[in-house]
Amino acid sequence: MNNITEAEALLKKKIIERGGEIDVPKCRSRVKPGNSVVYTKSGEVYHLKFTNSPWRPDDKKEGGARELDSKYKFAIKTFSYRCNLREQEQGTLVGIDEDLVLSLLSAVAEGYSGYIVTGLQRDILLWIAAMDFYNFVLRHDTFMKFPKSGCPVLFVPTGYFLQWGDPVVGLPMLTTEIAVRG
């Protein structure tokens, strides 16, 4: 993958492979650079972020941001165990602008199942439930309130996400066959 368009195509393909159906009129491509929103007809909403390489905190942060930097490093060290990352991806964070996360949580409040998905350049998708993402940020205070961009950003360690995989078990189904014991 080289951009958000390719990441969005991969996410839609993976959803369809699982038996989902894309709700095309509701989808919003490029809500901000590198970000899209994909809805399914079964009531799921995916906020997709594409990144060439996840963000890495500075090694030697000085000044007022040093405390936040320490929180980032603690979160990375403690919670980067749920997916296997390559060496260059280890010690990184995924950040989503606050307004995008709050928009996703609004959809969750309306009854959707919400997920944050990160597409990495090496053609993999990482995901986490929207409420898990938000609760992690609030619990561990990995919230950059005054970034250079002007919009607050919520960060979660890249390794805390789960890797999107093929389904292991299909949905349960009722059958009309009755086993007769003889």
The encoded tokens of residue 94 equal 């995924």
Give the start-to-end residue ranges of the domains of the chain. Answer: 4-163
Distance set, CA 99 to CA 95, 102, 145, 152 (Å): 12, 5, 12, 8
> pLDDT digit of tens for each residue in the chain (182 aa)?
899 999 999 999 999 998 899 998 888 888 888 899 999 999 999 999 999 888 887 767 666 677 788 888 888 888 888 888 888 888 889 999 999 999 999 999 999 999 999 999 888 999 999 999 999 999 998 888 776 667 889 999 999 999 998 555 555 666 555 555 55
pLDDT of residue 131: 96
CATH class of domain segment(s) 4-163: alpha beta
How far apart are the C-alpha atoms of 158 and 101, rounded to whole Å? 16
pLDDT of residue 112: 95
CA 98-99-103 angle, to 5 degrees, is 120
pLDDT of residue 61: 65
For 166, residues 6+ apart whose C-beta sits below 8 A from its C-beta are: 17
Pair type for strands 44-51 and 113-120: parallel
pLDDT of residue 84: 82
User: Quick check: 105 and 143 in contact, CB under 8 A?
Assistant: no
Q: Please identify which residue in the block is written with the tokens 């928009």.
A: 103
